[in-house]
Structure 1
Amino acid sequence: MSRWARRAGAVPRLDDACPAFSCPAEPAAPGGTVPGRFPIVYVRGFAGDTSGINNAVKDPFYGFNEGSTHVRVGARNEPAFHQFESPLLRLHLDEGYHVLVEGGQEAYLEAHDEIPRESIWVHRFYDRYASTWGDQPERFRLESAALDLLRLVRSLREKSGAPRVHLVAHSMGGLIARCLLQKILPDLGEDPAEYVDTLFTYGTPHGGITFDVGYGVLEKLRDVTGIKGADVFGPRRMYEYLTSQARRVGDGPPSGWDARRMPEGELSFPTDRVFCLVGTNPADYDVAFGLSSATVGARSDGLVKIENAFVPGAHVAYVHRSHSGRYGLVNSEEGYENLRRFLFGDRRIEVSLVDYSLPAERDVTWQAEVMVSVRGLPIVTHERLAAHWCPVQLDAEETAGGVRTPLASVFLGSDLPRPPGSPAMRYALQLRVLALRARGGFLRFRDHLEQASDFADTLVVDHRPGSGGEEVRADWNSVIRGTIKDHTPENVPLRDEEPRSGEWVAHVRLPETADPLLGFGARLRLAVTPWS
């Protein structure tokens, strides 16, 4: 019996059953591993020139094994220590995944005919471009890294029996994954959704890297000279490696081409299987590749602008973390908890503000701040704040379905750990609405209270799966007596308002205090769909 097969019996099984939804059964996986689990492939980010590549290949797991520590204010204003072990170790401890190495992960794959689905693999694409192995290195090319990724994915599918893999990528690694999905596989006539189940990206520059200084000169200089290989973040190179032959128009990107958008139609990867984690803290990202956060601008993670860090139509979460380093997205509890719930959760909740009507005041911009917390987690999984340069703009136009502004995607798992004695999955969504007044491009502060919101409240949602369907109760914090911890909802469960739509949908009216501002019809729309 192999080393991993002996361990598999001790690994807690994730129950794939969805109590309120019908989940298709999967055939048993080889070696007694858990059906429904797929191998996870990590893809690292940009290392720069040969010296940077040489430094990157020294790490056995390309940095995904690194954790972090930080302090927060505890009781009596004393610092409290918090330790995050690393995403690789946490997936091993929490989900029973294995990191398999015998002189190298590639060597392990070659020596074994079967591997467990619950396994983690690091795509070491930079190794062939390093000079530390003694040979004259090749010049890095992103398309070659994507082809190598395809070979790895094919081997993992064959030896694990899993139909697909999860891709988890940091920074440029997300562009390598998208090159595989948008160019390599379509050019081979292959459906990318047959190879990859989900794509999760940390701080990927889906829209390239641009700067707040230089009036575009720095970008042009980078793209012409290809300094340290950084031209991969410019529009011409991005168009080359993100566009299949069937979709190419001329030699360069056509007018209006948006690198962030993934193509639709035949041989396309669905964007609802993509999750983009966006960093909003440039301060903890000092200098990399000669570029500082001051060059990129405040509205960024220090290297990637917020507006360039997501794919339109994908699930997006914003966290106050920097691009990389000890306070970076990958080495954070925030990043890991979003990843874990996206990969292993069984319910997806889309929360939107609908049917609102704000006062029509000249030169006034209305913004919302949103924070999402999940019971049992020591972090906020999603926060869009004005102080972090990413509030929600309340400028949605009315459509046939009414006014709707998405606020958050929440992933929950009925089998993920919860505090003892807590049968329901509980999450809270904090909502604040603020007015920003300007005239002639300048902010006006008359009759203004800085950081004071025009509306603020928190919706506490208890979600309990049951054999008869979803049982969801929701209360606004303003009407909860006592502490939220001791709150036991006693109101009638929300009813499914669209039972034939394929998703569970309910609306929660905003408190009466919001009526003068957002209108009597303003509600939060909760849409629940199965996720596995």
Structure 2
Amino acid sequence: MRSALHPYHPIIYVRGFAATQGEIEDTVADPYMGFNIGSTKTRVAWTGDVRRFFFESPLVRLMSDHGYKDVFVEGDDLVAAEHHDRPVPYRCIVIYRYYDEASNDFGDGETPPIEHFAKGLGNLILRLRDKVCANKANDIDPEACRVHLVAHSMGGLVCRAFLQNPRLGSDEARRAVDKLFTYATPHNGIDMRVVRNVPGWLSFGDINNFNRERMAEYLDVPRGDDVSVVKGFPAERIFNLVGTNPRDYTAAGGLSSWAVGEASDGLVCIRNATTHGPDSQGKEVTSPRAFVHRSHSGHYGIVNSEEGYQNLTRFLFGELRVDGMLDIDDITLPLEVQKAKEAGKPIRASYQFEVSASVRGCQWQMTRREVRENSAIFRTFADLFPGRAGSGVTTGHSRRPHLFSVFLDWDKSLKRRSSKSVSFAVDLKVLVPDYEVDGVMFLKRHFEGGFILRRLILIEVFPDANSQAGCRIKYGFQEMNPGKPGILAQTRGIEGEARGLAFDIPIEQTARPGLHGRLCIEARPWS
């Protein structure tokens, strides 16, 4: 059953980890537990320069842009207070204040286990559902009531524990969850330079919540299995926002950032910040994700960022999902390297793919993966061409890099454009690898940072009620027709899906080293 109010469901914000009693007391002293914190500073690309940019906070922007309201009236929380009968709006923002009972002021100063927090989330969902359904102005049936969960860091693990572990809360509450958006959540635990996996015995501040064996307990995953696998909730309904900027995470005087390393947000390694698992049809998928050059928290943090807000609102409220995968048929070697290979010398090479996606009308990149930010996609030759012996015809399917997931909002675009379309651009780069020939680096004609291929691809989507995905699509290349896609895509249905369209954009670089392949675009109705 779907409500007429869809997709603007109540939002529950679940904050992240507080290690010390002082941090817990500071947390509970804030009504919004950090969701109201904005920023006036942003880094300019990778240079480290700072420019002034006013981001009011996710809370304020949801209120001003989408008409959400909080639930605090005359000093009370209308959802938490049992005795109040004041109406609660459906389009509301609720803060899950799970640290209250761990504070000295509101509780007993003892921090309950994460399982307790997960159960409490289920109780909050049902209480919120009852409150919004009691408001006759909402005209909502309890069976149609849904909630969005938005979580930072450990808050995402609290949400997953509730969604995955049948012992932690009721199925009735789980069925009410529509989507989960996670900022910088350590879905696969926390690793450090000196020790892989937070030790299970390290109980200070319950930091062992990030130990994989401990995570397996509360996520209801067999010990030794991958704890980033989602079960019991469709993996495609979880969005992972991944930070790639460790330098601005100043916790513990910068010690955390040093300990975790460069390929991180200063606390969570990039490789540990995503989920995967069965979708609603049982097919194994990666959860949609985006990579932004933000740190785990602070003035340059991932929650209080425009990039985070743009991904959040498009995932929650957007109407079209577009994914891009790169199918590679062949990658050719430089002529000298090819001759050495034909002479029987062993050749080694691995490939890095950089990609960014930008939506028309928004100055912020929805996602950006770059070598210099330690977030580029990495594949070995064997990854791309399993079982392939030479440089001729592929003997197996290439392992396609998933480049991006972009969520588009028809309504926002139609108000601004007479063309009644939504557009985005994909900047795709395949870097020249460091070839190794017979154990020696091949440096002839080598220029650091060179590209095998670079294309700026423009994609424009038009609403079309007669289409399988509700749209038709044009594409083009910036170097051929700047700013205007002009080629009508020849679409096909997505195999195994009743709705959705797919099409291929040829990607070629004939010079050596070169690449022959296709950018496969899949578009599906969303929300």
TM-score, length basis structure 1: 0.82
Change (3 A) 1:27 1:461: closer
CA pair 441-316 structure 1, distance change in 2 beyond 3 A: farther
Which of 378, 390, 408 is the aligned partner of 2:404?
408
Alpha carbons 1:40, 1:167 under 8 Å: kept: yes
> Which of residues 186, 201, 214 is equivalent to 1:237?
214
Q: 1:505–1:528: 8 Å Cα contact kept in structure 2?
A: yes
Cα distance per residue 1:395-421 (max 9 Å; x no partner): 335698765321111100101246454
1:101 to 1:370, Cα distance in 2 relative to 1, 3 A: same
| Distance change >3 Å, CA 364–CA 36, structure 1 → 2 | closer
Unaligned runs of 5+ in 2: 134-143, 277-285, 338-346, 387-394
1:62-77 to structure 2, matched below 5 A, reads 62-70=33-41
Give the secondary-structure state (helix, strand or coil) at the position aligned to 1:154. Answer: helix
- The corresponding residue for 2:459 is 461
Q: Against the structure 1 CA distance between its residues 258 and 70, is the aligned structure 2 distance closer, same or farther, given a 3 Å change threshold?
A: same
- 2: CA distance, partners of 1:441 / 1:141: 52
Instruction: Name the residue aligned to 1:143.
Output: 115
Task: Summarize the Cα distance change of 1:178–1:513 in structure 2 as closer, same or farther, 3 Å threshold.
Answer: same
CA deviation map 1:80-118 (0-9, x unaligned)? 632111001111111111112021325665313642221
Secondary structure class of the residue paired with 1:366: strand
Q: Does 1:172 align with 2:151?
A: no
Deviations 1:174-203, CA, capped at 9 Å, x for gaps: 0000110111x4566627751211111000
Tell me, in whole angstroms, the C-alpha distance in 2 between the residues paired with 1:511 and 1:124: 53
Q: What's the CA shift string for 1:460-488, capped at 9, x where partnerless?
A: 0111112332121100112115xx2xx3x
More deviation, 495-504/34-43: 495-504
Q: Distance in 2 between matches of 1:122 and 1:465?
A: 36
- Alignment partner of 2:368: what SS? strand
Q: Distance in 2 between matches of 1:433 and 1:172?
A: 34
Provide the secondary structure at the position in 2 that maps to 1:454: strand
Provide the rounded CA distance (Å) in 2 between the counterparts of 1:112 and 1:270: 35
The answer as to 2:479 corresponding to 1:497 is: no
- Residues of 1 paired with 2:425 and 2:214: CA distance? 42
Quote the residue 1:48 is aligned against. Answer: 19
Q: Match for 1:258 among 226, 244, 250?
A: 226
Q: Secondary structure in 1 aligned to 2:190?
A: coil
Partner secondary structure for residue 382 of structure 1: strand
What is residue 318 of structure 2 aligned with on the other side?
Answer: 345
Q: Which of 415, 428, 433 is 2:430 aligned to?
A: 433
AA paired with 2:409? Answer: G
2:361 matched to 1:376? yes
Q: 1:144 to 1:430 in 2, by over 3 A?
A: same
Instruction: For residues 38-83 of structure 1, give each alpha carbon's deviation from its aligned partner in whole angstroms, at most 9, with x where no partner exists.
Output: 1100000001121211111111100100111125779xxx986321
Name the residue aligned to 2:307: 334
1:355 Cα deviation from its structure 2 partner: 4.0
Three-state SS of the structure 1 residue aligned to 2:475 is: strand
Cα contact 2:145–2:176 (8 A) shared by 1: yes
SS of 1:285's equivalent?
coil
Q: Which amino acid aligns with 2:209?
A: V
Q: Which residue of 2 aligns with 1:210?
A: 191
- Aligned CA distance change for structure 1 residues 303 and 159 (closer, same or farther; 3 Å): same
Comparing 472-481 with 203-212, greater Cα deviation is found at 472-481
Give the match's secondary structure for 1:373. strand
Quickly say closer, same or farther: Cα 1:143–1:278, change in 2 above 3 A: same
1:90 to 54, 61, 65: 61
| Paired positions, count | 473
- For residue 208 of structure 2, give the secondary structure of its aligned residue in structure 1: helix
Asked if 1:127 is matched to 2:109, the reply is no
Alpha carbons of 1:441 and 1:272: their partners in 2 closer, same or farther (altered >3 Å)? farther
Q: Deviations over 1:296-347 (max 9, x none)?
A: 1111000000011111221111110000011010000000000000000010
- Once the two structures are aligned, what percentage of the paired residues are identical? 36
Tell me which amino acid in the other structure corresponds to 1:240: E
2:474 match: secondary structure: strand
TM-aligned CA deviation for residue 441 of structure 1:
9.1
Alignment check: 8 A CA contact 1:203 1:304 kept: yes
The AA in structure 1 aligned to 2:456 is T
Q: 1:396 aligns with which of 384, 398, 402?
A: 384
Q: Secondary structure at the match of 1:120?
A: strand
Amino acid at match of 1:180: F
Amino acid of the structure 2 residue aligned with 1:196: V
> Does structure 2 retain, via aligned residues, the 8 Å contact 1:365–1:435?
no
Maintained 8 Å contact 1:280/1:300: yes
Give SS of 1:378's match. coil
In structure 1, the gaps of 5 or more residues are 1-24, 29-33
- In structure 1, what is the equivalent of residue 343 of structure 2? none
Change beyond 3 A, Cα 1:515–1:526: farther
What is the 5 A alignment of 1:239-388? 239-243=216-220, 253-254=223-224, 257-263=225-231, 268-288=232-252, 291-312=255-276, 313-359=286-332, 362-388=347-373
Aligned equivalent of 1:11: none
Structure 2 residue 2 is matched with structure 1 residue 26? yes
Counterparts of 1:369 and 1:83 in 2: how far apart (Å)? 29
Give the whole-Å Cα distance in 2 for the aligned partners of 1:462 and 1:96.
28
Instruction: Find the residue that maps to 2:201 and give its secondary structure.
Output: helix
- Closer/same/farther in 2, CA of residues 442 and 231 from structure 1, 3 Å limit: farther
Whole-angstrom CA distance in 2 between matches of 1:442 and 1:40: 56
